[in-house]
Amino acid sequence: MLIRKHDALSGSDIRSSEITPKEKWLNRRSFITAAAATGAVALGTGRLREILSPSSSVQAAGKLDTVKSPLSTTGEELTSFQDITHYNNFYEFGVDKSAPSQNAGALPTRPWSIKASGLVKTPKTFDIDTLLKLRPLEDRTYRFRCVEGWSMVVPWVGYSLSELIKECDPLPSAKFVQFISYFDKKVEKWQSQSQIFWPYSEGLRMDEAMNPLTLLTMGLYGDVLPNQDGAPVRIIVPWKYGFKSAKSIVQIKFLDKQPPTTWNDLAANEYGFYSNVNPNVDHPRWSQKTERRIGQPFYAQRHPTLMFNGYGDFVAAMYKGMDLRKYY
Amino acid sequence: MNKPALITLKVLTWIACLYPLAILIYGAVTNNLGPDPTGRIEFATGNTALNLLVISLAITPLRQLWSRLSWLIKFRRLLGLFAFFYASIHLMAYVGLYAYFDPNTIVQDIAKRRFITAGVTAWLLLVPLALTSTTGSIRRLGGKRWNQLHKLVYVSVCLGLLHYWWQVKTGVLAPLWITLIMAALFLARPVLGWWKAKRVKTLSA
């Protein structure tokens, strides 16, 4: 193992060859990334997770204390940290996929809080540091499928959104949840590159939001969430197209009717409110039957797209009797 | 323009035109095409094809504006053929990497998806132009008829731009610049024609 415990390091009987060079130790994140990229197949994901969440006795700044989760997806090669952080749709920071990695440094992630309002007993505000400690943080690897036709496999860190919703005390009349992202024209100078009505807004039906798979996400690869991936807190809804998973959330509203959502407002025929991953319902401009896995060579990139992105066992029951062609 | 200068410029043009392809091949061989190699190949080839078409269409207005640049005509065929070359790789990349050589997918895409319909039509319109690009063809067809046939390039470019606009997400303005440049080039023709006619009139008066 690369990372050693403090007590081991302080001992005098270690051979110098066993001590990790400081430079390497400081660069362990890139080592982990490289290991994830190259070693995922060889090592298998179980062993990999051990590498990704090493013993918590060595704590670096930003490193999160995490536990395993039975809801984590196994048997998939993880997309590299490099690709997850350099291929982003975060239009507040530019429309190019590489723009958020260059520009999102401007996002002020501290202090940060989420305001919970609408149909709740009493409106509450949750500070990010409270959120980080509210429940044990879990390693949750999920497939991530973008409506544009590309996909990744991402080791997120967080806990079920339902845990936060319970703390919010929504009224029985609350049927939908709306997520509103951070927006500041002065910070996010690149917002004018698209004609989106800011702030970014997304929403879920209450049962979707309460589904244990829906993740309140605060980390990536065992570390705090990089800005370009929606720091400091976002949601991840793994069975829906990526745009449903709003980034950098500042407000959660509980409502009795379906909230307006950004891409649906812009082009309702292309981006439905539900937007469940569905290989049988084409996007008007392209087929959704297959997807391009990010980070793989061009001749091996294409994979079949799975119904509900492969999470049907957990979520299909919520849509029983619904015409998914109509409610795409 | 003297011969050595012309040859040098032609070599440079060849290098410039092959450069985007060389970058892609180098990236493919070293497995370094970025996070989304398929998307990269598709975008780079389509973008290069459109850029080359725009440059080739800029030649006539430039010659009209400055008669000293009349030698530019010697480069138009080269640029046009390279545009067709990149458009063809773009199409083949779609067939191989997006449709996975499945004829059903291709037929359905062309029938159902307007951005693909526009793109394929734009490419089809370039085919007769590439085939009649030889000096022999110009002679056989006669300059006037050849010229009329090659007016198809305007339709092809417009469809190419439409293809681009319909492909990007609603609200994304990436194709704006090339569209504006193309619009300026389209406008330049009648404007320059009118200006020239006026000058001839003043000179003869």
DSSP string computed for B42-70: HHHHHHHHHHHHHHHHHHHHHHHH-GGGG
Of A17, A43, A60, the position where a domain reaches its end is: A60
Of A35, A60, A85, the position where a domain reaches its end is: A60
**Which of B28, B36, B100 comes nearest A294 by C-beta?**
B36
Predicted ipTM beyond 0.90: no
Of A42, A60, A78, the position where a domain reaches its end is: A60
A90/A217 same-domain check: yes
pLDDT at B146: 94
**Which of B28, B105, B114 comes nearest A287 by C-beta?**
B105
Would you say residue A32 has pLDDT above 60? no
How large is the average pLDDT for residues A274-289?
A: 93
A222/A251 same-domain check: yes
Q: Which tens digits make up the pLDDT trace of A157-175?
A: 999 999 999 999 999 999 9
Q: Is residue A96 part of a domain?
A: yes
pLDDT at B19: 97
Q: Which tens digits make up the pLDDT trace of A182-207?
A: 999 999 999 888 888 899 999 999 99
Q: Is residue A327 part of a domain?
A: no
A98/A14 same-domain check: no
A87/A56 same-domain check: no
pLDDT at B66: 87
A33/A174 same-domain check: no
A41/A78 same-domain check: no
pLDDT at B200: 77
How large is the average pLDDT for residues A124-147?
A: 97
Number of structural domains found in chain A:
2
Q: Supply the CATH number for residue A156's domain.
A: 3.90.420.10
Would you say residue A274 has pLDDT above 70? yes
- A17-21, A110-114, A134-138: least confidently modelled range: A17-21
pLDDT at B205: 59
How large is the average pLDDT for residues A112-127?
A: 97
Q: Is residue A326 part of a domain?
A: no
A125/A13 same-domain check: no
Would you say residue A71 has pLDDT above 90? yes
CA A230/CA A107 separation, integer angstroms:
9
**Which of A87, A195, A299 comes nearest B36 by C-beta?**
A87
A48/A193 same-domain check: no
pLDDT at B163: 96
Contacts of A195 in chain B (CB under 8 A): 170-171, 173
User: Å from B62 to nearest chain A CA?
Assistant: 32
User: Å from B32 to nearest chain A CA?
Assistant: 9
Would you say residue A273 has pLDDT above 60? yes
A62 confidence band (pLDDT: 50, 70, 90)? low
Would you say residue A87 has pLDDT above 70? yes
- What predicted TM-score, i.e. pTM, was given to this entire model? 0.79
In whole numbers, what is the pLDDT of chain A averaged over residues?
A: 86
Interior/surface letters A195-228, b for 16+ CB within 10 angstroms, e for the rest:
ebebbbbbbbbbebbbbebbbbbbbbbbbbbbbb
Would you say residue B22 has pLDDT above 70? yes
The string of DSSP letters for B147-167 reads HHHHTHHHHHHHHHHHHHHHH
pLDDT at A49: 42
User: Å from B87 to nearest chain A CA?
Assistant: 19
Identify the domain containing residue A27 by its residue range.
1-60
A132/A175 same-domain check: yes
**Which of A86, A270, A292 comes nearest B39 by C-beta?**
A292
Q: Is residue A324 part of a domain?
A: no
A53/A97 same-domain check: no
User: 3-class secondary structure for chain A?
Assistant: CCCCCHHHHHCCCCCHHHCCCHHHHHCHHHHHHHHHHHHHHHHHHHHHHHHHCCCCCCCCCCECCEECCCCCCCCCCCCCHHHHCCCCCCHHHCCCCCHHHHHHHHCCCCCCEEEEEECECCCEEEEHHHHHHHCCEEEEEEEEECCCCEEEEEEEEEEEHHHHHHHHCECCCCCEEEEEECCCCCCCHHHHHECCCCCCEEEEEHHHHHCCCCEEEEEECCEECCHHHCCCCEEECCCECHHHCCCCEEEEEEECCCCCCHHHHHCCCCCCCCCECCCCCCECCECCCEEEECCCCHHHCEEECCHHHHCHHHHHHHHCCCCCCCCC
Are A302 and B100 inside 8 Å of each other by CB? yes
A207/A194 same-domain check: yes
Q: Which residue of B has its CA nearest to A83?
A: B35
How large is the average pLDDT for residues B99-109?
A: 91
User: Å from A297 to nearest chain B CA?
Assistant: 7
A102/A116 same-domain check: yes
Q: Is residue A3 part of a domain?
A: yes
